[in-house]
Amino acid sequence: MFESLLASPVHLALVLFICAVSGCAQGMTGFGFGIVAMSLLPLAMEARTAGILVILLTALVTVKTFHAHWREFRVDRIRGLLAGAAIGAVIGSFFLVKTDPVVFRKSLGGVLLALALYDLFFARRRKLRCPSWLGFPLGTLSGALAGAFNMGGPPAVVYLYSQGWPRASVIASLQVTFFVALVIRLLMVALSGHATHDVLGLSLLSALPCLVGLWVGAKLSSKISHEQFQMMISIIILLVSVKYLFG
């Protein structure tokens, strides 16, 4: 099973482990599943296939995370962000299904490198304050990154955390933003024919590790420094990005 996706049972075990780690990152912070998964899964499988697998798993992770914070959600706060995410997701999803696999892998490496460098050297030095009118353009960028690479978190995170809202409200708003882009990605991938039976089967098999990771991350959330955890993840992403760009 999954011979068309994975070279060996070792690769399957690696995929399941990566899904658990990605779920743990999501459980701790409320975001990060897509970035961690897309950083590591191409080590075990073709990058574009990894992108499609992560789309399917993100649906599970997003709904589960939103369920824990839905009472704090207010749609009137993020209309611009949602509209931008929808438009950007169309653009990014088109890139995902149409781009040559080698170009996709190199592009993934470039995006990962930029995100890692930003997080390591700029994100903590200055807390940005984003006016409300930036919701639409940042939502568009978030949707495009989500559609292409399942990494729509950073622009939306920067915008939402700069608003001064309660953390639970931010996390709920993030999940809805991700879900809007997710629905569009699912439609684009389904229409392209890339969602094969093997990919669907692997996503079902990976669901349990994701859920376990979410549970563990939620338990560790109050016991581990988020900043230290995020720095460790950023260093790993930086190293992996170099491999995708030059390997």
**Which class for 46: exposed (0-12), middle (13-18), buried (19 or more C-beta within 10 A)?**
middle
CA distances to 63, 122, 139 from 147, rounded to whole Å, are: 18, 25, 12
Range of weakest confidence among 34-43, 213-222, 230-239: 230-239
Give the pLDDT band (50/70/90) at residue 230.
Answer: confident
Average pLDDT for 49-77: 83
Q: Residue 19: its pLDDT value, please? A: 93
Contact residues for 151 (Cβ-Cβ < 8 A; gap 6+): 34, 35, 38, 111, 112, 115, 145
Domain extent listing, the chain: 9-246
**What is the C-alpha separation between 126 and 89, in angstroms, rounded?**
28
- Residue 144: which of 95, 75, 72, 82 has the closest Cα? 95
- pLDDT for 233 equals 78
Tokens of 143: 């949707």
Residue 183 tokens read as: 């629905």
Residue whose structure tokens are 């720095």: 231
Where does residue 192 rank: exposed (0-12), middle (13-18), buried (19+ CB within 10 A)?
middle
What percentage of the chain reaches a pLDDT higher than 90? Answer: 13
Separation CA 80–CA 71 (nearest Å): 21
pLDDT reported for residue 123 = 65
Q: What is the pLDDT of residue 88?
A: 92
State both tokens at 74. Answer: 């207010």
Q: Coil, helix or strand for 178?
A: helix
